[in-house]
Structure 1
Amino acid sequence: MLANIKGKIIYGNIYNNYRYIYIVNNMGYKKKYKISLKKKILFKNKERINYGEKIIKGSINYNNLINIKGINYTQINFIKKLKNIYSTQGVNINNKHFEIIIRQMCNFIKVIKSGNTDLLMNNIVTNEKFYKKNKNIKKYRIIINSGDSKIYKKNNIINIISIKRENYFLKLKNRKCIKYIKCNPAIGEINIKGITNTSLKNNSFISVASFQETTKMLNKYSIKYKTDKLKGLKENVMLGNLIPSGTGFYEKKK
């Protein structure tokens, strides 16, 4: 359990084997927490706590930490924890190896609001797909008044170029133009996945099939007529291609 706000801890009443505590900030805003009596509270009554600090003893939920402290802080914290595990065994590993793994684990976004995109709420999608959908929706507008247009109707989501073209012809005929507003992008939050889930949610079916249940995965994707665009490192290595990195990246671009 992590503190969502910065302030002073105030112990509250005990009820049904739970202690209620409050964090009160300088503005007087109060945040309530329900804690089992079996859990050890790390702060005494009236002690100050910063946001993102652990309230009780135990492991950190990194999905919560991201929402409170941000992605950069979370990744640095993650690397420190992992390095500490290996250093106690006398093993020194360069940060770059952890950074690559953690980057893949943080490569997913949970959709909080779908906006005007076709993403579904609470779905978990890759960063690439999420930002691609949001970039694409910027090219569209919602029609709030169709004017004298016979092509488009109210609430239609239409490409801005098509709307401007229609308005151009309406102006030539002295007709009412279409009125429109910007589309709402999707809103999401980073969702950390374990190594297994990360590998199985890869866009490349070759990479997924190489991880586990190879026959099952190949059958599944062959039924779907799935096409692998070979954008990642692993699938290109498996097929003996140049990897899309360094000099190989520019060859791909050409």
Structure 2
Amino acid sequence: ALPVKAELVVEDGKVVHAGDILAKIPRELAKNKDITGGLPRVAELFEARIPKDQGIISEIDGIVEFDTDIKKKQRIRIRPEDEKGEVKEYLIPRGRHVTVHMGEYVRAGDPLIDGSANPHDILAVKGTKALQKYLVDEIQQVYRLQGVGINDKHIEVIVRQMLRQVSVEDPGDSSFLIGQEVMKTEFDQVNRQLLTEGRNPARSKPKLLGITKASLSTDSFISAASFQETTKVLTDAALGGKYDTFRGLKENVILGRLIPAGTGYGNFSDSEYELNGAIDPEELIRQRQEELEAMQNEMGITAGTIENLNQEAPAKMAPEATS
């Protein structure tokens, strides 16, 4: 067996003699394993960059097959069990360690070679939930190796913002355009309205943005201008005639206004955005009153009974007070 990252220098079928070199192992500089060496990996994940030593993952479920090399690259095929399915082919560069074997069954998303997976590939193959878990686990791994404990929720908040946009594939009966990138909240709101009217909803696919691009693509141009590319953001906002609704935290802090949370939430109570499964407070009070009345009726207690008890109580207490 050859070691990892060994490069073959002989071709298949070539006659070799004792003492001939079969493979070479490239030299590597010592890598820094402290926290400073891991921070570039964290930046790479948060910015959704393609890894330098990108790994390859299988796009489908199927059986691994090895084929003849092409241009000094190893060719791997994944043949689906369904004969009607499309065979996927991958070209592996020389020196990369293959992690699968001939005839092995792999599932969509399984790695075929060593290396960090491309987060965009994970999103396309396994979906949003799998990508969120991958990003959180990979970022936490860097800090845990140095004994730094961070609660997952802090990273999850950032990852959620990285996945808040979608790319429109089919506009349906909406006013969206094919390939248009819109906020997921806006897309869902338009689709709910279309379904209510009995029209065809739009279809989209999730899109992964780096934290820099995600910050600049916010609906609030004041929030985006305070981050980076201030001149460009303000110029685009002026030319596009944009207006800021001040529904976020950052833009309200910049203007010295109450943020839309806590005591400041009342200013946004008429917001057109609704929480999934949220209950109107007045409706909740009405439900509680109905439950209380039903409970009193079952126990034989009415409003008149309670009033009579309140009137009888002082009369019973009076003789005791005089004595």
The answer to whether the 8 Å contact 2:59/2:88 transfers is: no
Q: Distance in 2 between matches of 1:96 and 1:237?
A: 23
Given that 2:69 and 2:75 are in contact with CA atoms closer than 8 Å, whether structure 1 keeps it comes out as yes
Q: Distance in 2 between matches of 1:246 and 1:190?
A: 31
Write the letter of the residue equivalent to 1:221.
A
The two structures have a TM-score, normalised by structure 1, of 0.75
Q: Quote the Cα distance in structure 2 between the aligned partners of 1:4 and 1:251.
A: 48
- Which residue does the alignment assign to 1:58? 115
> Can you give the 5+ residue segments of structure 1 that lack an aligned partner in the other structure?
141-181
User: Which digits, 9 at most, give the CA deviation of each residue in 1:36-94, with x for residues without a partner?
Assistant: 33243221212222221122223222232123222222111110100111223332222
* Greater C-alpha radius of gyration: 2
**CA RMSD across the alignment:** 2.2
Are the equivalent residues in 2 in contact too, given 1:18–1:34 (CA < 8 A)?
no
Confirm whether residue 225 of structure 1 aligns to residue 225 of structure 2.
no
Q: Is the 8 A contact 2:166 2:204 kept in 1?
A: yes
Alignment partner of 1:133 is 2:149? no
Q: For residues 17 and 119 of structure 1, what CA distance do their matches in structure 2 show?
A: 45
Matched positions, count: 213
Q: Quickly say closer, same or farther: Cα 1:225–1:5, change in 2 above 3 A.
A: closer
Report what 1:88 is aligned to. Answer: 145
- Which of 255, 261, 265 matches 1:249? 265
SS in 2 for 1:11: strand
Select the structure with the greater relative contact order (CA < 8 A; seq sep ≥ 6).
1
Q: Is contact 2:63–2:106 with CA below 8 Å preserved after alignment?
A: yes
Q: Which amino acid aligns with 1:101?
A: I
**Structure 1 position 19, deviation (Å):** 3.2
1:32 alignment partner in structure 2: 88
Q: 1:202 aligns with which of 210, 218, 222?
A: 218
- State how far apart, in whole Å, the 2-side matches of 1:73 and 1:95 are: 15
Displacement after TM superposition at 1:23 (Å): 2.0
Q: Does 1:79 align with 2:95?
A: no
Q: 1:114 matched to which residue of 2?
A: 171
Determine the C-alpha separation between the residues in 2 that align with 1:89 and 1:113. 46
Contact 2:172–2:202 (8 Å) recurs in 1: yes
Structure 1 position 41 matched with structure 2 position 98: yes
Counterpart amino acid of residue 132 in structure 2? Q
Q: Relative to 1, partners in 2 of residues 1:112 and 1:224: Cα closer, same or farther, differing over 3 Å? A: closer
SS of 2:166's partner is strand
- Does the CA-based 8 Å contact 2:223-2:250 persist in structure 1? yes
1:128-167 → structure 2 map (5 Å cutoff): 128-140=185-197
Shift of 1:30: 5.3
2:76–2:92 contact (8 Å) kept in structure 1: no
SS at match of 1:138: helix
The answer to which structure has the higher strand fraction is: 1
The structure-2 alpha-carbon separation of the partners of 1:9 and 1:59, relative to structure 1 and needing over 3 Å to count, comes to same
Question: Any conservation in 2 of the 1:22–1:30 contact (CA below 8 Å)?
Answer: no
Distance 2:156 2:164 in 1: 12
Instruction: Tell me the SS of whatever aligns to 1:90.
Output: coil
1:122-143 CA-to-partner distances (Å, cap 9, x unmatched) read 2221102222232233355xxx
1:63–1:190 contact (8 Å) kept in structure 2: no
Letter in 1 for 2:218: N
1:20–1:32 Cα contact (<8 Å) kept: no
Does residue 72 of structure 2 align to residue 17 of structure 1? yes
CA distance, structure 1, for counterparts of residue 87 and residue 168 of structure 2: 26
TM-score w.r.t. structure 2 length?
0.60
Q: Tell me, yes or no, if the aligned pair for 2:163 and 2:207 is still in contact at 8 Å.
A: yes
1:91 aligned partner, one-letter code: V
Which residue number corresponds to residue 154 of structure 2? Answer: 97
Q: Is the 8 A contact 1:52 1:69 kept in 2?
A: yes
Which 5+ residue runs of structure 2 have no aligned equivalent? 1-55, 271-323
